[in-house]
């Protein structure tokens, strides 16, 4: 199984400020990793996935980017946040047939 760590748990940022959310994974080497965003009361929107170090695939074009500098580290970034970037960001890892999710970061952009 996997344990997904995410921080911070909550974040309030002004429009135009940068963003860096970090995710680390325990329990599996070379996991497939994912960033999802969930708007309030809505489903899961896949933003990025990574099958290995330095390998990032984007599912939705936007002002966010992702990086995977180490096998078990996945980072979500933005140079300038928009109001529409508010949401619940979930890091996730895949272990055989199960998807594990981190506790999430609730981002509010004001």
- Total binding residues toward other proteins, as defined by CB under 8 A: 21
Give all strands of the β-sheet with 19-26 in edge-to-edge order: 3-7, 19-26, 73-78, 64-70
Asked whether position 60 contacts other proteins by CB under 8 A, the answer is no
Segment (H or E) for 49 = strand 44-52
13, 32, 67, 77: residue in contact with other proteins (rule CB under 8 A): 32
- Joined together, the tokens standing for residue 48 give 């990025």
Asked whether position 51 contacts other proteins by CB under 8 A, the answer is yes
> Residues in the site for other proteins, rule: CB under 8 A?
32, 34, 41-44, 46, 49-51, 57, 90, 94, 97-104
């Amino acid at each position: 199984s996997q344990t997904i760590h995410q921080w911070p748990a909550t974040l309030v940022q002004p429009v135009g400020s940068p963003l860096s959310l970090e995710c680390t994974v325990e329990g599996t080497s070379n996991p497939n990793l994912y960033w999802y965003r969930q708007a309030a009361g809505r489903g899961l929107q896949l933003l990025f996935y990574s099958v290995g170090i330095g390998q990032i695939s984007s599912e939705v074009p936007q002002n966010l980017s992702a990086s995977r500098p180490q096998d078990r580290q996945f980072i979500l970034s933005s140079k300038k946040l928009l109001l529409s970037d508010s949401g619940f960001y979930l890091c996730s890892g895949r272990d055989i047939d199960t998807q594990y999710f981190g506790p999430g970061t609730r981002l509010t952009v004001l």
